[in-house]
Structures are given as C-alpha cells and as structure tokens.
Structure 1
Amino acid sequence: MGSGEPNIAGKKKKYLKAALYVGDLGPEVTEDMLYKKFRPAGPLRFTRICRDPVTHSPLGYGYVNFRFPADAEWALNTMNFDLINGKPFRLMWSQPDDRLRKSGVGNIFIKHLDKSIDNRTLFYLFSAFGNILSCKVVCDDNGSKGYAYVHFDSLAAANRAIWHMNGVWLNNRQVYV
C-alpha cells in the first residue's frame, strides 16, 4: 500500500470490519465447508468453527474473515440465509464489543408469530426500520415456537419497528412487539 500503510491498530480495525458471524450451523459443518461456501465472495483470511473448550463439539456458529470489507458486505447482503448441507445459516457482522451485544439497547421481542415465519422472513420484515445486528426466530425440534428477537443497532430503529409492527397481522396472526 506504500506510504499510506495503516498502523497496527488501523489494520485490526479494518480486519474487524471484514469479519462475519455465521450462525445456525449444523454440527457437521467444518471450516473447510465454510471456506468453500464463502470463497466465491472474495479472498478470505480464514474461517473458524467455534467449539466447546472441554468436549471440542461444535457450538453451531463460526466466523468468516475476508481480506476486504467490501467482500464481507457483499456476502452479508447476498448470502444471508443461504444453505449449508440443506440448513439455512444466519450472517451478521462480527461484534467483538460485548457492551453493544449485551446492552439490550435496540433489542425487541416479537410474539404470536405464525409458524411459517422463518429467520429470512423476519429479517426482511424488520430491516425496513433500521440496521439489524441479529434476528432469530426461536425454534425447537418441532419448528418455530412462535416468538423471535430482533436486535437493531439503535434504539430509534427498535422504536420504529415497535411503532409500525405492534398489532400487525402477519399470515393471519396478530403479532405483538
């Protein structure tokens, strides 16, 4: 990059902007499978499947680290809810700052969802109100349990979603936010 080469802190910041969290992975998914899935989006630094420190069993999520933030953004916008081994996965920006993830600011709870509402549908329904950090329909072995969580990057976005979606009918069921 020449004289414009960023310092180490700048490199770390850029690196974090190119990292995606991949959730809802099956226990059979490997780093190699993630690499093969995401490599068409752009050059990768590495992939990682997170494992239990004691049993070494996969925890159902991992990370894909791209060389360039634009490639990560493209993957997030075009590959979210794609399939690996027939199972849809969720993508979101990796958020290493525990304070933002655990603050509760921007989190909303949606109940009385029809069982046909999946993560993809939930994401597209609520993305109109702001930038979604995470969204998840809660499921068990029988499918949707009828409720979900959406985490926006701001309180304003969460409030817009509550204002516009509380009491709305989705697939013949009135939802409450």
Structure 2
Amino acid sequence: MAAGPIAERNQDATIYVGGLDEKVSDTLMWELFVQAGPVVNVHMPKDRVTQSHQGYGFVEFLAEDDADYAIKIMNMIKLYGKPIRVNKASAHQKNLDVGANVFIGNLDSEVDEKLLYDTFSAFGVILQTPKIMRDPDTGNSKGFAFINYASFEASDAAIEAMNGQHLCNRAVSISYAFKKDVKGERHGSAAERLLAAQNPLSQADRPHQLFADAPPTQMPMMHQMPVPPPPIMQPSMQVPMTMMTQHQMAPPPRIMPWQNQQAPPQPPTYQPPPPPPPPSFNSFAPPGFHGGFVPPPPPPPPSQQAQMPPPLPPSHPALPSHMQGHMMPPPPPPMTMSSGPPMPPPPPMQPNNMMPMNWKPSIPPPPPPASA
C-alpha cells in the first residue's frame, strides 16, 4: 500500500481525500475506494513522532475514469460521523486559501455538511469541507458555519444569490467572515482580491460550476424555417433505392394538377333498391290507393234500393305519413235491416275486384221486361 514517489504517480488518476477521522487507516481507505474501481496504492502522510495520519490521504486508481467516478460517489460521505472531502489531487495542490471565506448564520439544526456542500458548490470550487460549529459535548449545531471558496467570484455569487434564502425552512444570512488575525475586519478586502487575481485558478479546476452555468446552446436563426417532413409517396411514384446515390436526394413526388386545388366531387355511387316491404292487407292495392282503408262494399241488389241505405262509417282523419300502412282500419258497423233477410257478408278482396278511390256507386239499369 505504500505509495511510490510523487513523480511516478499518475496524477490524473489520483484523488485527494480530506477530513479523515483519526481512526481511519490505510486498509479502511483501500476497502472503501476499491468499490469505485481498481486501486493501485493508498498513501496517508503520517507524523514522524506519533505515527498518526494528519487527516488526509491520497488514493491512486488504475485509470482516470475510476478516479472521476470515485469523486462523484464518495465526496461528502460520512466516515466515523465526519464528512470526507474527495477531489483531484492535482487540483488540491493548486488550491490556495485566497481569503474568500463566507459566514452562514441562522442555520437550522437539520442542516449538515453535505447539504451545505451540495447547495453552495454550485457557485464555485469549495476548498475545504464546510465547517459547521457544533457543541463539543452534544455535537449539536450552534446555528452557523463557514465555507472557504477558491475565488472571490464564487463567494460573491453565493452571497448575492443565497443571502436571505430559506434553507430547511429558515432564512439564512450570508456575509464575509471576520479575519482571525485582524479584529473587526472581514474577508473580501481589496488587498485580498488583488492577491487572488495574481494566481487565478484554471477553468479545469472548477468542476462544480456545471450546476450554476448552463451549457451553451445554439440559438436557431430567425430567418431559417424548419424543414418540413417529406411527403408520403404513392406506390406508383416510389423511387427505387438503387437509383439514389450517397450525395443525391430522391426527386420530390410529382404534384398532380388538382393537389393545389379543390378536390373534384366524387361520382355518385350506385345503391341497390331497398327490399320490398312485408306483405300486408294493402299489398295488392291499386295505384292511387292510400291510407290503408278497405274500399266500401258493392251496392245492394236492386230489390232493396227503396230501403234506406245503411249509414256510412264515420270518416277518420288522415294518418301521418310514418304511420300509414301500419294500422288496421276499424271494421264497418253491422247493418241492421228492418225487414227482409240479412245482408250477406261482403265478398273477400281479390286483386281483380279492388275498386279505385275515385269509384262512385251508380244505380244499375232496370232489367228488361219479361217476355209474355
């Protein structure tokens, strides 16, 4: 597990791990980070007298992709109750404290170091693990914390955007922290900004700005219209694929003269005649017979013409058109004769003795006189 000389290390595949508890060992570091990828070696600088590590270490992976993956999944996880800081070792060597220290007050008790890191790393690179001041006996938060940024641009953006915002239902107050060596003076002075401008960090050392900076997008030109989809070709107009070359597009389909005009009317389609209605009592009615009524009976014999004719049945109003042919008319009332034999029933209807509607009864001529 002993690390070789720094010159022989693959710096691109080596990560820096900070914020380690004193109980963390080389073996534990190996077992933890081998879950992200093949580990080549682990190095934790130790004190020469006490032989205890100084709270940080280096892990070298076999490939650079494994190191990047370990940074994504292992950063800010808690080890023995303390969140660890994981980033590229090359970036750690360049990160210098420029004085962009931010004070965060009025914190809720539910806010931990990981929540602070995930929230404030969107504005720039954070050099150290966010430090929440806690009670040494109970471990409870005192309600304020400190964040050390790698540039004043990041700290200015964090103060401008997050001051007065709610974090776990409490509005936090953000400002530059007071300096330790100078009483009553805050960080962010003109002298600190001038020194920080002389040693700026490269853009490659700012991976967390992906959260704050949107990726560049190409705006569409206003004068360019979207290309419409190609029209669907008819089977008779399809072009075989063998006639199309790699740099030659298929010719557009031939436009018929009527495609830009109103479509011609469709010719009338032939419809078969409706089926004949079911036979009914008026199926043999002559032309001009309507209403579904039975014609009057034939006139009585001449010998009974002197008697009173039977009363005619009351006339019925005309039925609606949708009800014609579906109702049976009432039968004629029975005829009562004062004298003489009863009237015979009317003969059944036959197709050849049906009377038209305009038929009127007439008195037949008298019989010829009998010869002597």
Query: Structure 1 length normalisation: TM-score?
Result: 0.75
Q: Is contact 2:102–2:174 with CA below 8 Å preserved after alignment?
A: no
**Paired residues of 2:126 and 2:147 also in contact (CA < 8 A):** yes
Q: Give the Cα–Cα distance (whole angstroms) in 1 for the partners of residues 61 and 29 of structure 2.
A: 12
Contact residue 130 and residue 157 of structure 1 kept, 8 A: yes
The Cα of 1:165 is off from its aligned counterpart by: 0.9
Q: Matched residue pairs, number?
A: 164
Give the structure 2 partner of residue 174 of structure 1. Answer: 172
Structure 2 match to 1:144: 141
Corresponding position: 1:127 with 2:126: no
Is 1:28 equivalent to 2:23 in the alignment? Answer: yes
Give the match for residue 114 of structure 1: 108
In 1, Cα distance between equivalents of 2:93 and 2:12? 11
The alpha carbon displacement at 1:25 in A equals 2.2
User: Retained in 2: the 8 A contact 1:108–1:150?
Assistant: yes
SS at match of 1:17: helix
Q: Which has the higher helix share?
A: 1
Greater shift, 162-171 or 85-94, is seen at 85-94
Cα distance in 2 for residues equivalent to 1:56 and 1:40:
27
Say whether the 8 Å CA contact 1:167–1:176 is kept in structure 2.
yes
Cα pair distance change 1:55/1:78, threshold 3 Å: same
The one of 32, 41, 54 aligned to 1:37: 32
Larger Rg: 2
Determine if contact 1:26/1:60 at 8 Å carries over to the other structure.
yes
User: Aligned partners of 1:129, 1:13: CA distance in 2, in Å?
Assistant: 34
Query: What secondary structure sits across from 1:50 in the alignment?
Result: coil
Distance (Å, rounded) in 2 between the aligned partners of 1:112 and 1:53: 42
Please say which of residues 11-20 and 119-128 is displaced more in the overlay.
11-20
1:160 corresponds in structure 2 to 157
| Partner-residue secondary structure (3-state), 1:151 | strand
Superimposed CA distance per residue, residues 86-130 of structure 1 (whole angstroms, 9 cap, x where no aligned partner): 654232333123xx32332x4433233223211110011112223
Q: Could you say which residue in structure 2 is the equivalent of 1:96?
A: 93
Residues 60-108 of structure 1, C-alpha deviations (whole Å, 9 max, x = no match): 32222223222212111112123445654232333123xx32332x443
- Partner residue in 2 for 1:81: 76
- 2:63 aligned partner: 68
Aligned residue for 2:15, secondary structure, equals strand
Say which of 42, 47, 67 aligns to 1:47. 42
Gaps of 5+ in 1: 1-10
- Percent of paired sites with the same residue: 34
More strand by share: 1
**Which blocks of at least 5 consecutive residues in structure 2 are unaligned?**
1-5, 176-372
SS in 1 for 2:29: helix
- Residue 12 of structure 1: how far off its partner (Å): 5.1
Q: Which amino acid aligns with 2:172?
A: Q
Q: Name the TM-score, length of structure 2 as normaliser.
A: 0.39
Structure with more contact order per residue of length (Cα contacts < 8 Å, sep ≥ 6):
1
How well do the aligned residues superpose, as a CA RMSD in angstroms?
A: 2.7
Q: Residue 17 in 1 paired to residue 12 in 2?
A: yes
SS at the partner of 2:111?
Answer: coil
